[in-house]
Amino acid sequence: MAIAAVALTDAAPINRRPSPSPTGHSVSLTRNDNYRHNTHAQIVKLNRRYPNLRVLATATSGNVSLTNVKPDIEYFGTVLVGTPPQKVKLGSSDIWFPSKACTSAACKNHVQFDSTKSTTFQKDGRPWNIAYGDGSTASGILGTDVVNVGGVAVKQTIGLATQESAAFGQSPSDGLFGLGFNTIESVSGVKTFMDKAIAGGVLAQPVISVFLPSVRRNGGVGGEYLFGAIDNTKFTGNLTYAAVTRKGYWQIAITDVGFNNQSLGQASEGIIDTGTTLVIVGDAAAAAIHSNIQGAVNDPQNGWLVPCAAQNSTDNVSFAMGGGNFNIPVADLAFEDLGDGSGNCFSGVQGGQNDLWILGDVFIKNNYCVFDQGKSQVGIAPLNY
Ligand SMILES: *[C@@H]1O[C@H](CO)[C@@H](O)[C@H](O)[C@H]1NC(C)=O
Ligand SMILES: *[C@@H]1O[C@H](CO)[C@@H](O)[C@H](O)[C@H]1NC(C)=O
Ligand SMILES: *[C@@H]1O[C@H](CO)[C@@H](O)[C@H](O)[C@H]1NC(C)=O
Ligand SMILES: *[C@@H]1O[C@H](CO)[C@@H](O)[C@H](O)[C@H]1NC(C)=O
Ligand SMILES: *[C@@H]1O[C@H](CO)[C@@H](O)[C@H](O)[C@H]1NC(C)=O
């Protein structure tokens, strides 16, 4: 990815307010029932977007509602930027979105932020650009403005795109909002929203808690990013904490993979990433998992496929982290029908990441995740919905 070398623009949080409730602010996710997508292309694009953490943001506590781009392809929330606020739909890493000045076709499909209409916008003057794993790019200028995430407002450096490659034209969100540690921000030295919010003391707890609902389990409704708090009603039992082994992404040690409580003898470092649709493991682990699913095949075109009838399976794949074991039901491996009459579905677990596995939304929609920046750990517990 392209790194623009620029110095930090500092800005203090502008909205220090008492925590309205012990649960904090959450951002509710909304559904987009009309969005039409090419599932396979979308998954490929999202999964290739790594390495770009697409974790989401929180407020003293801020509640951001998430839209499920069905069927669980991606999730996005709406944040407010500028004064008076302009609504921008953001889906993952770094904070950037189209500028009014952008003439690319991709920008025209989205909200274009008009900085001239914001009394709190400040020009930075430095150029900004980013390139993703799928070859898509965006570039423009940096500025600072107030970003309000579910009620938590921070003065924040933002990227205003004046050019976007065509791939972004299809995206249901307008831009991206990262939740990673600042070591992976596209502009070196720029503090993340969480850095600012924590330093400014606006969060009750230095955490972002994520609930991604799946279409299969509850119709995909009620998703939220909760900034600064943990919603105990969303999970069962206690959170198990896994230490972050390397800051940047939310990287943890995956110590075992199981199938119905039988160890498959696989382990790796991995990241928990809201911005990746599927779970991407090493080739050996993907083969070991699918060897337990009758009819699973590794197709050269589409990767691992499982019979769609697996939607009725009660079997589980499990990942061990922090001393706990967390399930992905095999039912979620039947991700979406290929639509070619074969009765096969794209598997929700794919190979190809032999070094660093990615536990994307297929994992998160079964397990509540608390990204605890304060203690550099991730809390995980099975979802209760
Ligand atoms: C977040 O907002 C949504 C929608 O308003 C609400 O249903 C949910 O209960 C809120 N979550 C918390 C933890 O306040
Ligand atoms: C959760 O933790 C508390 C306090 O450590 C303990 O008393 C309780 O039994 C735990 N609950 C479960 C379901 O493990
Ligand atoms: C099997 O279940 C036990 C008890 O819950 C657990 O401690 C162990 O880690 C599990 N093993 C695998 C491979 O899932
Ligand atoms: C799941 O089982 C039900 C009831 O037996 C059946 O009607 C349905 O077609 C099955 N689903 C799939 C995807 O095979
Ligand atoms: C899979 O996990 C669910 C939820 O924990 C459990 O109810 C079910 O019995 C498990 N299936 C098997 C085959 O162990």
> For 31-90, how does the pLDDT look when each residue is reduced to its tens digit (9 = 90+)?
333 333 455 555 555 554 433 322 233 337 788 888 887 788 878 778 888 888 887 767
Higher pLDDT, 259 or 103: 259
Supply the pLDDT for residue 16: 23
Tell me what pLDDT residue 268 has: 98
Average confidence (pLDDT) over 149-154: 84
Give residue 18's pLDDT. 26
pLDDT at residue 299, as a whole number:
93
Say whether pLDDT at 92 is over 60: no
pLDDT, tens only, 266-321: 999 999 988 788 999 999 999 999 999 999 999 998 899 999 999 999 999 999 99
For residue 261, the ligand 5 atom closest to its alpha carbon is: 14
pTM: predicted TM-score of the whole model, two decimal places: 0.82
Between CA 316 and CA 258 the distance in angstroms is 8
Q: Tell me: the pLDDT tens digits for 337-379?
A: 999 999 999 999 999 988 899 999 999 999 999 999 999 999 9
Atom of ligand 5 nearest to the CA of 260: 14
Mean pLDDT on 132-146: 81
How many angstroms separate the CA atoms of 60 and 348, rounded?
A: 35
pLDDT at res. 187: 59
- Long-range Cβ pairs for the range 293-296 (8 Å, 24+): 293/330, 293/333, 295/344, 296/347
Residue nearest to atom 13 of ligand 5 (CA): 315
For residues 207 and 14, which has the higher predicted lDDT (pLDDT)? 207
Ligand 2 atom closest to 236 (CA): 13
Please determine, for residue 97, whether its predicted confidence score (pLDDT) is greater than 90.
Answer: no
Residue type present at position 243: A
Q: Which bin fits 163, alpha (ψ -120 to 50), beta or left (φ > 0)?
A: beta
Burial of 201 per CB tally in 10 Å (0-12, 13-18, 19+): exposed
Ligand nearest to C-alpha 26: 1
Residue nearest to atom 12 of ligand 3 (CA): 261
Pocket test for ligand 4, best of 216, 294, 312, 338 (most atoms within 8 A of CB): 312
On the question of pLDDT at 241 being above 70, the answer is: yes
Q: What is the mean pLDDT of residues 125-131?
A: 79
- Of these ranges, 103-112, 119-128, 332-341, the one predicted with the greatest mean pLDDT is 332-341
Q: Tell me how far apart the alpha carbons of residues 318 and 321 are, in angstroms, rounded to a whole number.
A: 10
| pLDDT > 90: percent of the chain | 44
pLDDT by residue (tens digit) across 164-190?
888 777 777 777 665 555 544 555 667
For residue 22, what pLDDT band results from cuts at 50, 70 and 90? very low
Residue 239's alpha-carbon distances to 12, 325, 378, 379, 380, in angstroms, are 32, 11, 9, 5, 5
Name the band, by pLDDT with cuts 50, 70 and 90, for residue 237: very high
Distance 336 CA to ligand 4 centre (A): 14
Does residue 327 line the site of ligand 5, with CB under 6 A? yes
Q: Is the pLDDT of residue 228 over 80?
A: yes
pLDDT at site 4: 22
Say yes or no to pLDDT of 8 above 70: no
Count Cα neighbours of 366 within 13 Å in the Cβ-side half-sphere: 22
pLDDT of residue 328: 98
- The identity of residue 23, as a single letter, is T
